[in-house]
Amino acid sequence: MKKKIALVFGITGQDGSYLAELLLNKNYIVYGVKRRTSLIHTTRIDHIYKDVHLKSNLILRYGDVTDFSNVFNLIYQIKPDEVYNLAAQSNVGVSFELAEYTAQTDSIGTLRILEAIRILDKKRKMKFYQASTSEIFGNSPEKPYNEKSKFEPVSPYGTAKLYSYWMTRNYRDAYSIFASNGILFNHESPRRGENFISRKTIIGLIKVLKGEQKCLHLGNLKSKRDWGHAKEFVNAQWKILQHKIPDDFVIATGKNHSVKDLVNLVLKKLNIKHKWKKDKNNLEYAIALNNIGQIKKSQIIVKQEKRYFRPNEVHNLIGDSRKAKKILKWKSMINFEQLISEMIDSDLKSIM
Ligand code: NAP
Ligand code: GDD
């Protein structure tokens, strides 16, 4: 039987690496798009990538979704069965500083891929997956969020992603392209970028324990997120494209926790006893109650800092993925504590 060909934009990212593993295990030929960077950063996929001169089912090509001729040529040359658009400036906080670039990548980048498919795939055989996000719900009041909830994004990232969500639907309706949105809630893993809260907290507190860093500085501790495991969430991405019709699905665990819960859990797992206090500006900080590692009793180990607060914030995300459960038979199995434990174990191994 002819092997299926997948084209993955964003293969060097957290999800791209897990998705590539999943597709290779399913016997796909996987083309991954990597950006030109001054230092090569393919660490997340090095374990599955063979030398370019060896025969391999994983092939890397240079590309960038801000370059239409590149996107067009890749789709023209590769003729994939499935296209996964995971490419994005994916940091919400950074999107306030790089608003235009975020739009170029997260909005117009998607349009470029959709246009290339519309022009090139006359027989409408290609399937397109768009990495949509719970950020498009913003602070919309009715929770938990499902496929029918109102969209009220509150960041340049969320707004850019909402454009892509609608374009994906528009191209499906107007041109009969098999184009689907996965509206994924936060998902983490040992491969998570180091400036997202889960990984920043874990790495930061391990460094505090080792005496390599005095204190962990964070922003908003009150916001809540529905955190799942990336490995399970990429499985949902694949399932969305295997469904007989194109459609949009919320992918979430259905449980949420605050950032403070996350920090407390990491401290507990590292055996650091602590107590929270407030300073005169109402900013919170945690002090150690025991001597452990290089930490001394009464040392400030976590501190809120104004510069890590965002100009606007999504306060409380929680998803309802009953549609995915019913139609795709997808369900999250790894809970918050298991996820954080796996991430801590992995970072302890590499940092200690
Ligand atoms: P990530 O780790 O930040 O990976 C993003 C990927 O996109 C990287 O491979 C990155 O390349 C690539 N990229 C960035 N700008 C690009 C451009 N202009 N052209 C081509 N590639 C570009 O993000 P992730 O966590 O894997 O998330 C994957 C996708 O799902 C993203 O679209 C994200 O917005 C979305 N999403 C993520 C979550 C989550 O909680 N993780 C939830 C909902 C939706 P470099 O390695 O060169 O930077
Ligand atoms: N990154 C970060 N750094 N976040 C902090 C910090 C800090 O120092 N301090 C507090 N936070 C809070 C943020 O304000 C936010 O409320 C929460 O921690 C989670 O932040 P992130 O881990 O950066 O994730 P996010 O929820 O903003 O965005 C992630 O999930 C989206 C899906 O809901 C990203 O993966 C997006 O790409 C994704 O679409």
Residue 40, pLDDT score: 87
Q: How far is ligand 2, taken at its centre, from the CA of residue 325, in Å?
A: 26
Q: How far is ligand 1, taken at its centre, from the CA of residue 295, in Å?
A: 35
Residue 251, pLDDT score: 99
* Residues in contact with 245: Cβ distance below 8 Å, sequence separation at least 6, in sequence order: none
Ligand 2 atom closest to the CA of 198, numbered from 1: 22
**Intervals of the chain under pLDDT 70:** 51-54, 352
Q: Give the residue whose CA is nearest to atom 29 of ligand 1.
A: 86
251 contacts 236 by C-beta, under 8 angstroms: yes
Helix (H) or strand (E) holding 23: helix 14-25
18 as an active site residue: the answer is no
Residue 352, pLDDT score: 63
- Reported as a single tens digit per residue, the pLDDT across 49-67 is 876 666 789 999 999 999 9
- Reported as a single tens digit per residue, the pLDDT across 152-198 is 999 999 999 999 999 999 999 999 999 999 999 999 999 999 999 99
157 as an active site residue: the answer is yes
Residue 53, pLDDT score: 66
Residue 52, pLDDT score: 66
* Residues in contact with 153: Cβ distance below 8 Å, sequence separation at least 6, in sequence order: 135, 136, 137, 138, 159, 161, 162
Write out the DSSP string of 203-266.
HHHHHHHHTS-S-EEES-SS-EE--EEHHHHHHHHHHHHHSSS---EEE--S--EEHHHHHHHH
Q: How far is ligand 2, taken at its centre, from the CA of residue 223, in Å?
A: 9
Q: How far is ligand 1, taken at its centre, from the CA of residue 11, in Å?
A: 8
CA distances from 22 to 25, 79, 141 (A): 5, 20, 36
Ligand 2 atom closest to the CA of 188, numbered from 1: 35
Q: Does this model's pTM top 0.95?
A: yes
188 as an active site residue: the answer is no
**Counting ligands in written order, which one lies closest to the CA of residue 219?**
2
Number of C-beta neighbours around residue 39 at 10 A: 4
**Counting ligands in written order, which one lies closest to the CA of residue 251?**
1
218 contacts 308 by C-beta, under 8 angstroms: yes
Q: Give the residue whose CA is nearest to atom 20 of ligand 2.
A: 197
The per-residue pLDDT of the chain, averaged, comes to 97
17 contacts 44 by C-beta, under 8 angstroms: yes
